[in-house]
Amino acid sequence: MLVAAALLGAIGGSFLNALSFRLGTGKSVLRGRSRCMRCGHTLGVLDLVPVFSYLFLRGRCRYCASKVSWQYPLVEVAATVLAVGIYYRNPEPLLFAYWFVVWMLLLFVVVYDLRHYIIPWSCSGLLALLGLVHVWTLGFDAWSFAAGPLLAAPLLLLSLVSRGTWMGWGDGALELGLGWLLGLTMGLTGFILAFWVGAAVGIAVLILKKGYTMKSELPFAPFLVLGAGVAYFFHADFFSTLPILFL
């Protein structure tokens, strides 16, 4: 089962890669064979084996020898690791399927935000919906339901004050779903981690990269998802013992 989960992850990652280049570009998301981005040659089965094709061909196109983006193997490996982690946490098939969809969507949001500097509304909307399903299965208790809006509020406020320049609207929409998916205390833990790591990386980029100013855009979704991942997979929860949350 573990091997099956890993395989599913690798295939999922491969699909996410293709989707990240197609969604929002006018190309069909599901139709059409994969092609080399440089020479346009249709890729065969041997070119599409997750991770292994990249390693075997040493990161180059078989037909024109141009370099293939390392996004491909990286996302495939990340999706595989996520799938294995999800299986460890939720071996029951239905729960596994649910969290698999959730984390593939979150990984996709990361890839898409890094590549296009935007979070597709379809993704944040779907994640919010899945989050509500999670809240519903918990029985709609007040704190689980409040988690989404409470965690999204600071980000939405930042967007409102800056008219979307400090923080994109999509980040707040994403956090709404993350709050519902993780609950208040775990969600807040992920949120704080995201700000710490985001601030550290932001400062490092300012110092190390020439031409980067405070005004330059740094996609924030990767940090939100990273924080959520640490909270979810490592059961990190700074606040579970706060008495007020048991009222």
Residues that bind Zn ion in the complex, under the rule CB under 5 A: 36, 38-39, 61, 63-64
Nearer to Zn ion, 39 or 46 (CB): 39
The nearer residue to Zn ion, 29 or 65, going by C-beta atoms, is: 65
- Is the CB of 57 or the CB of 218 nearer to Zn ion? 57
To the nearest 10°, report the CA torsion of 97, 99, 104, 107: -170
| Torsion angle of the four alpha carbons 48, 52, 56, 60, in this order, in degrees rounded to the nearest 10 | 50
Q: Residue 84, Cβ neighbours under 10 Å: how many?
A: 16
Q: Looking at beta carbons only, is 67 or 235 nearer to Zn ion?
A: 67
Q: CA–CA separation, 177 vs 171, rounded Å?
A: 10
CB of 62 to Zn ion, least distance (A): 7
What is the smallest separation between the CB atom of 46 and Zn ion, expressed in angstroms?
A: 14
CA 77 – CA 61 distance, rounded (Å): 19
Please report where in the chains the tokens 């440089």 appear, as a residue. 38
CB of 16 to Zn ion, least distance (A): 21
Q: Which residues pair with 67 in a beta bridge?
A: 60
CB of 38 to Zn ion, least distance (A): 5
Phi, psi of 60 (to 5 degrees): -125, 155
